[in-house]
Amino acid sequence: MGERPSLTAPEVDRYLLVDEGEEIVDEVVKHPVTLVVPVLLVVAGSLIVGLSGLAGGWFWLPGLAGLGLALTGLYRYHDRHMDRFVITNMRVFRVHGVLQRQVATMPLSRILDISVRQSWLGMALDYGHFTFESAAQDQGLRVIEFVGHPRQRDLTIQRVIQRSGVRASAAPSAD
């Protein structure tokens, strides 16, 4: 029987096809902008818990609400920590989930197109959202959000696809 997945680390290495020579080219963690809401929730919840003593006899009610808010923030922070997008020499895949692990995979040969979308904030902070178009009708890996340095990551994927020989070279032939 295999080892149980960790609840504290995404452990992307366990999903590699090591016997086939698969190696990680890039492991992408979500952009730090995704930490803003979880941190604000923890801070607001902690403030509410701290100030709940001023509520008199009903101190437990705002204290309980503040605790719930802080725990929600901590869970969202951990969920963000567990979300990884991985580019290998053979495929791209995403591992995510805290209590239920989900893995979505797309072989390089199935990638037909990659679109990168950046809002004005994304351009200012250097993050974007990837959309993968695949030869498959139903795909588990379609949109990857909050990818830092999206232009470089897109070029990395294009290089890996080119080196793998999946797509023919764009160089003219000498016929």
pLDDT band per the 50, 70, 90 thresholds, residue 119: very high
Q: Which residue has the higher pLDDT, 7 or 55?
A: 7
Mean pLDDT across the chain: 88
pLDDT band per the 50, 70, 90 thresholds, residue 123: very high
Mean pLDDT of 98-108: 90
Predicted pLDDT at 31: 96
Rounded-to-integer distance, Cα 25 and Cα 93, Å: 12
| Residue partners of 9: CB distance under 8 A and separation at least 6 | 82
- pTM (two decimals): 0.82
CATH number belonging to domain 21-31+84-164: 2.30.29.30
Rounded-to-integer distance, Cα 106 and Cα 113, Å: 12
Rounded-to-integer distance, Cα 156 and Cα 138, Å: 25
Predicted pLDDT at 2: 58
27-79 confidence digits (pLDDT tens): 999 999 999 999 999 999 999 988 887 767 777 788 899 999 999 999 999 99
The answer on pLDDT for 169 being more than 70 is no
133-168 confidence digits (pLDDT tens): 887 666 678 899 999 999 999 999 999 999 887 665
Rounded-to-integer distance, Cα 104 and Cα 85, Å: 9
- Burial (0-12, 13-18, 19+ Cβ within 10 Å), 11: middle
Predicted pLDDT at 82: 94
